Amino acid sequence: AQSVTQLGSHVSVSEGALVLLRCNYSSSVPPYLFWYVQYPNQGLQLLLKYTTGATLVKGINGFEAEFKKSETSFHLTKPSAHMSDAAEYFCAVSDGNTGNQFYFGTGTSLTVIP
């Protein structure tokens, strides 16, 4: 079975500061890992995903995440926060066998302080 833990339901950073959103997963098979962003009253937008290959994955809007198997982590980072980054971020895992069913973390609300 797969599960996702996002540490910190709320994260606040100053504009221009580093963004670090934590995600740890549990999976009995090689995982597919995803980060989604959800702006208020909107659906999910894919930021980036890891399936196989390079463990450092670059996504949209300057975000990147690194898959660390030994730590079962897939933390999301961005070097410099922008006001427009304020949103809800969800980490998700699906297994490589079916690739269908997603398991989401509880989400992290990012606030960017001007």
Partner 1 sequence: GAVVSQHPSWVICKSGTSVKIECRSLDFQATTMFWYRQFPKQSLMLMATSNEGSKATYEQGVEKDKFLINHASLTLSTLTVTSAHPEDSSFYICSARDYGGGSGNTIYFGEGSWLTVV
Residues that bind partner 1 (CB under 8 A): 36, 41-44, 46, 90, 94, 99-107
Q: Which two tokens stand for residue 71?
A: 């730590």
Are 93 and 102 in contact, with CB atoms under 8 Å apart? yes
Q: How far is the CB of 91 from partner 1 (least distance, A)?
A: 10
Token pair recorded at residue 76: 């999301």
Instruction: Tell the smallest beta-carbon distance from residue 89 to partner 1 (Å).
Output: 11
Nearer Cβ to partner 1, position 84 or 100?
A: 100
| Between 77 and 102, CB nearer to partner 1 | 102
* Separation between Cα atoms, residue 26 and residue 72, nearest integer Å: 7
